[in-house]
Amino acid sequence: MAASKEEIVAGLAEIVNEIAGIPTEDVAEDKSFTDDLDVDSLSMVEVVVAAEERFDVKIPDDDVKALKTVGDATNYILEHQG
Amino acid sequence: MSATLRASKGAPYARIAGAGGYRPHRVVPNEEILKHIDSSDEWIRSRSGIATRHWAGPEETVAEMSLAAAGKALASAGVAPEQIGAVIVATVTHFMQTPSVATEIAHRLGAGRPAAFDISAACAGFAYGLGVAKSMVVEGSAEYVLVIGVEKLSDFTDKEDRSTAFLFGDGAGAVVVGPSDVPAMGPTVWGSEGDKADVIAQTTPWTEYRDGEVERFPALRQEGQTVFRWAVFEMAKVAAQALEEAGITADDLDVFIPHQANMRIIDSLAKTLKLPEHVAVARDVETTGNTSAASIPLAMERMLASGQAKSGDTALLIGFGAGLVYAATVVTLP
């Protein structure tokens, strides 16, 4: 069953918490992964792979570069989830 | 008509009988790398875990480094050069298209006239060589095989490429593979993914440089994020398959020696594989950098010398790199 926008943001918050140690309440749609959430380019790959598994979605490397904020990733997953 | 041929007869099993390594004298700290790129020690350490690497001087050629490592491996195995039936050298930085460096090494070691050849499998080269050597010993075409991984990547690095300038180091590692009464080298799980050939590659062919089409001497370049994803998540599956085919689980392991590509890859790979706490993980990349084909035997030798690993330990080895290519196996340490 497809996840709602709120479920995706909450799921991403848990993933970012697990990988970068950022409190889940700090993860919001307007936050930039690199500038606000201590997720560098390599950690971003781990976030993406975890999100792929959780939301049954494929996010190719070429598309990862465009996902600057949590909102970008949320919208991408909303559009592409299986 | 087909004549009846005599079958070849090798050893029942193979094992790694000894290991040796050579690190060039000059230690290069991140500060020296920073003369050529706009970055910082903190950035390099956080992205790669690398603090220092060794760069070879003019006298420390691919052949000289190999000879030093091979001599130590032979001594540790208690095998004389003349007992060596084959010399396999894995390298991508012997800048002589032909002849192979393996023949020079075999000759200068005093090994007589063994089979000798180089293999090109980038950072998986040593693990590829190990699989080939095991097959030779079991098939009977050689009693002892010398497998060397050697690189002089400082000659193949764009010192102004801020994404790779800090990564690479020089060195040589060697092992002697010989007969065994018990299984001491598991099945080799290996393969290639040629559809990803452009992910890690030489910047331009030599001929384009010769013809003046590019000004910069060819060097290694890679797509960091793509390599990271493949190295961590796809290679975890390959490593798990090597455990399964060897008939063991992660709980049975003592040591994990992945190709020393980058500390972030090593840590994420260990995490993805869910290795138990008691497994010692090779982290030689911190002071040796990424030495491609040399990294696994160098890390193995250092872990054995420092007491992090001991003879008889069960170790999972996995090499992966440009090709893309990969090879994993479980071995008993010498």
- Contact call for A46 and B232, based on CB within 8 A: yes
Q: What is the pLDDT of residue B1?
A: 84
Contact A42 B223 (CB under 8 A): no
Distance CA B310, CA A21 (A): 35
Q: Strand B314-321 vs strand B255-258: parallel, antiparallel, or unpaired?
A: parallel
The tens-digit pLDDT sequence of chain B (334 residues) is 899 998 889 999 999 999 999 999 999 999 999 999 999 999 999 999 999 999 999 999 999 999 999 999 999 999 999 999 999 999 999 999 999 999 999 999 999 999 999 999 999 999 999 999 999 999 999 999 999 999 999 999 999 999 899 999 999 999 999 999 999 999 999 999 999 999 999 999 999 999 999 999 999 999 988 999 999 999 999 999 999 999 999 999 999 999 999 999 999 999 999 999 999 999 999 999 999 999 999 999 999 999 999 999 999 999 999 999 999 999 999 9
Residue B17 makes CB contacts below 8 A (sequence gap 6+) with: B76, B77, B78, B79, B144, B175, B176, B177, B178, B334
| Rounded distance between C-alpha atoms, residue B258 and residue B270, angstroms | 9
Interface size A-B, in CB pairs within 8 Å, comes to: 26
Residue A1 has pLDDT above 90, yes or no: no
Rounded mean pLDDT, A65-69: 92
Nearest CA-CA distance, residue B229 and chain A, Å: 6
Residues in chain A closer than 8 A to B229 (CB atoms): 45, 48-49, 61
The interaxial angle of helices B101-109 and B62-77, nearest 10 deg, is 50
Among B253, B272, B276, B275, residue whose Cα is nearest residue B264: B272
Provide the pairing of β-strand B84-90 with B52-55: unpaired
Facing residue for B47 by CB, picked from A40, A45, A61: A40
SS3 content of chain A, % helix, strand, coil (to 5): 65, 0, 35
CB < 8 Å to A61, chain B: 223, 225-226, 229
Q: Would you say residue A3 has pLDDT above 90?
A: no
pLDDT at A81 over 90: no
